[in-house]
Amino acid sequence: MRGYDGIQRPCLTRETTLASHSHDHDHDHDHSNLSEMDVRVRALETLLTQKGYIDTAAIDRIIETYETEVGPHNGAQVVAKAWAEPDFKAWLLEDATAAIASLGFTGRQGEHMVAVENTPEMHNMVVCTLCSCYPWTVLGLPPVWYKSAAYRSRAVLEPRKVLADFGVTLPDNTRIRVWDSTAELRYLVLPKRPAGTEHMSQAELASLVTRDAMIGTALV
């Protein structure tokens, strides 16, 4: 997977974390094609599985859930409803946790939510400077670049340059505000509704919304 800064990074998947050995040996493997983190995750998960502390089937189900049932399409529904219904938009900006929960999107990593609205005067961007806190219930699993040290540091120090890396160029008079997610609070960016979409249904509007726009690294 290629990160926002153009660096190729491995993505932790079931294939990289649960691959197992089928032969006995007493020599060291060449893990040159894996990052140090991949190797450590693989070793830890294998050890925990062997000791019976984790169930691989349960892990598979969790990953499948966040890949197919929980993901950016949930957040896109929230955004589309806010675009189409002024009352819901006002509720979302006032109490995002309750408004999002009204659509059935609740659970871990989404217990306390804040929605921030992009306007011609203000563009919002979300980061987690300490680790990778992320609103799983509306955006699914975080992208690899979101967890990278480069994004976590540069988003705060030079947000306009980071946005340019994503292909986003804002007018000079548009302010950029960076929100730092924590274990207690997660953020959802409400992008500006594109012009010429007044005739679209909520389902059609939702199809326009990207994950990156809800993080703030894209316009829509």
pLDDT in tens, 51-103: 888 887 877 776 666 665 668 999 999 999 999 999 999 999 999 999 999 99
* Position 107 in a domain: yes
Angle at the Cα of 70 from the Cα atoms of 184 and 123, rounded to 5 degrees: 60
48 lies in the same domain as 85: no
In angstroms, the CA 35 to CA 32 distance is 7
Range 142-171 average pLDDT: 96
185 lies in the same domain as 143: yes
108 lies in the same domain as 151: yes
Q: What is the pLDDT of residue 11?
A: 38
Q: What is the pLDDT of residue 124?
A: 98
* Last-in-domain residue among 52, 67, 82: 67
Range in 4-18, 111-125, 156-170, 191-205 with the lowest mean pLDDT: 4-18
Closest CA to 81 of 94, 71, 90, 69: 90
33 lies in the same domain as 108: no
Q: What is the pLDDT of residue 16?
A: 35
85 lies in the same domain as 189: yes
CA distances from 11 to 5, 45, 120 (A): 15, 16, 35
84 lies in the same domain as 180: yes
88 lies in the same domain as 48: no
Number of domains in the chain: 2
pLDDT tens, position by position, 101-113: 999 998 765 579 9
* Position 2 in a domain: no
Q: What pTM was computed for the model? A: 0.73
Q: What is the pLDDT of residue 20?
A: 36
78 lies in the same domain as 136: yes
* Position 148 in a domain: yes
Give the catalytic positions in this structure: 128, 131-133
Of 45 and 206, the structure prediction assigns the larger pLDDT to: 206
105 lies in the same domain as 204: yes
* Last-in-domain residue among 67, 90, 110: 67
| β 113-117/175-180 pair status | unpaired
Domain assignment of residue 138, given as a range: 71-215
